[in-house]
């Protein structure tokens, strides 16, 4: 059974810092890995999607990496801003013989607070 | 472009009352559709998924049911709500067989009183 762990559970940083959020998983047979952002009381916004054959993806100040052999993914946020404050979730889609109905396994999330 | 609509945004219902939450997707056809629930301190749990009209699979036994009467419409229902049904309900879609990721709706906050 796939288990996903996100560390730290909460993080508070001053504005302008670069930071790293960690996601580890127990089963390397994944189809892809997706990072989401969730603002309080809102739905999930997709940030980055990494296919199992890829090592990293970048979007603006965000960079996500994937290392299947070690069961780890990191989300790097450069020059953090107060608007980055949210809960960040990583989620894995399993590779069930090349096809999958797409049940995501989520981590518990990292609550990020960026203070001015 | 593809969009997903979910309503209502918030709902307060008494115990024993019925429930109907609706989700519709635009700009795509034959999507996989999902209902997730996010309970406080428990993360996101998959409740139902559907790979086509009338095809519903349940992940966990519960007081809820789902239906897909049209290709891009997914409905979550209950005949009699329980206090434990309170939570944040999220609808999501994903293109079948593609390399793309999930897209989530804005969610419905359900409070059963």
pLDDT value for B98:
55
Residue A20 reports pLDDT greater than 80: yes
**C-beta separation of A99 from B32 below 8 A:** no
**Cβ of A108 and B101 within 8 Å?**
no
On average, the pLDDT of chain A sits at 92
Count of other CB atoms within 10 angstroms of residue B76: 22
Per-residue model confidence (pLDDT) at position B61: 72
pLDDT band for position B29 (50/70/90)? confident
Question: Which pLDDT score, from 0 to 100, does residue B1 have?
Answer: 74
Judging contacts by C-beta atoms under 8 Å, the chain A residues touching residue B97 are 99
**Chain A interface disruption, residue of B38, B87, B101, most A CBs within 10 A:** B101
Confidence check: pLDDT of B104 > 80: yes
Q: How many CB pairs under 8 A join A and B?
A: 53
pLDDT grade for B96, boundaries at 50, 70 and 90? low
Nearest to A43 among B51, B90, B100 (CB): B90
| SS3 state at B36 | strand
Average pLDDT over chain B, rounded to whole?
91
Nearest to B102 among A46, A107, A108 (CB): A46
- Residue B43: what pLDDT? 83
- Picking from A45, A46, A103, the nearest residue to B49 by CB comes out as A103
């Amino acid at each position: 059974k796939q288990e996903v762990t996100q560390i730290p559970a909460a993080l508070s940083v001053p504005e302008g810092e670069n930071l790293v959020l960690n996601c580890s998983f127990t089963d390397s047979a994944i189809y892809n890995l997706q990072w989401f952002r969730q603002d309080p009381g809102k739905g999930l916004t997709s940030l980055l999607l990494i296919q199992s054959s890829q090592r990293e993806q970048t979007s603006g100040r965000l960079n996500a990496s994937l290392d299947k052999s070690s069961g780890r993914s990191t989300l790097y946020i450069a020059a953090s801003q107060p608007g980055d404050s949210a809960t960040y979730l990583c989620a894995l889609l399993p590779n069930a013989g090349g096809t999958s109905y797409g049940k995501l396994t989520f981590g518990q999330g990292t609550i990020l607070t960026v203070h001015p | 472009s593809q969009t997903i609509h979910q309503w209502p945004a918030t709902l307060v219902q008494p115990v024993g009352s019925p429930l109907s939450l609706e989700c519709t997707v635009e700009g795509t056809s034959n999507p996989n559709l999902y209902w997730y629930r996010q309970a406080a301190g428990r993360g996101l749990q998959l409740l139902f998924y559907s790979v086509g009209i009338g095809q519903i699979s349940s992940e966990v036994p519960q007081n809820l049911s789902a239906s897909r009467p049209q290709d891009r419409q997914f409905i979550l229902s209950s005949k009699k709500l329980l206090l434990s049904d309170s939570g944040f309900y999220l609808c999501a879609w994903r293109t079948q067989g593609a390399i793309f990721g999930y897209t989530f709706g804005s969610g419905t906050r359900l409070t059963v009183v």
